[in-house]
Amino acid sequence: KQEVTQIPAALSVPEGENLVLNCSFTDSAIYNLQWFRQDPGKGLTSLLLIQSSQREQTSGRLNASLDKSSGRSTLYIAASQPGDSATYLCAVPSGGYNKLIFGAGTRLAVHP
Amino acid sequence: SAVISQKPSRDICQRGTSLTIQCQVDSQVTMMFWYRQQPGQSLTLIATANQGSEATYESGFVIDKFPISRPNLTFSTLTVSNMSPEDSSIYLCSGGGGAGFSYNEQFFGPGTRLTVL
């Protein structure tokens, strides 16, 4: 059974810091991994989708890496800003085109 | 990508009543899903909405409580029936699959925040 874990659960940093959010999964047979952002009380915004054949995906100040063999992904946020404050979720499909298994999320607060 | 809208965005309901949530996608998608996010928790899949056939429910979720319709490739509804305070959650729909989508990639609606008194 696929399980997804995210650490840290919460993070509070001053503006300008570079951040690393971690995601690990127990079953390495995944097609891809998605990172999402969720603002309080809102839906999910897709940030990055990284395919199992890829090692990295970049979008602006965000960079996601994937190491399937070790069951890990990291989301790197460069030069953090207060507008980055949100909960970041990673998710993997459970098999086929099927349900996404979500981690519990990392709650990020960036203060000026 | 896909833009997904949901109605209503939020509602406050009395116990014992039912609420139907609508989900509209701006393009045709193969797959649509309904998730629940209880306060302070991550997302849990309720069911896969299948076009033209009954939805596929996850363990712990039943059709009598969460009937789902999917009449076409862009629209689905979820009804939360005979509500109790334990049903207070954010309900999110997602979609993906089809032309222009990466395999297994899902996009989410803004969610419906439900409070049951």
Report pLDDT for A64: 97
Report pLDDT for A84: 97
Task: Answer whether B68's CB lies under 8 Å from B76's CB.
Answer: yes
Report pLDDT for A97: 58
Task: Answer whether A62's CB lies under 8 Å from A45's CB.
Answer: no
Report pLDDT for A31: 86
Report pLDDT for A6: 96
Q: Which residues of chain B have pLDDT under 70?
A: none
Chain B: closest CA distance from residue A97 (Å) = 5
Q: Which of the residues A36, A47, A97 would you substitute to probe the B interface, choosing the one with the greatest number of B C-beta atoms within 10 Å?
A: A97
Report pLDDT for A93: 87
Chain B: closest CA distance from residue A108 (Å) = 14
pLDDT, tens digit only, all 112 positions of chain A: 889 999 999 999 999 999 999 999 998 888 899 999 999 888 899 999 999 889 999 999 999 999 999 999 999 999 999 999 999 999 998 865 567 899 999 999 999 9
Task: Answer whether A54's CB lies under 8 Å from A35's CB.
Answer: no
Residue from B107, B53, B49 nearest B78 by CA: B49
Report pLDDT for A98: 66
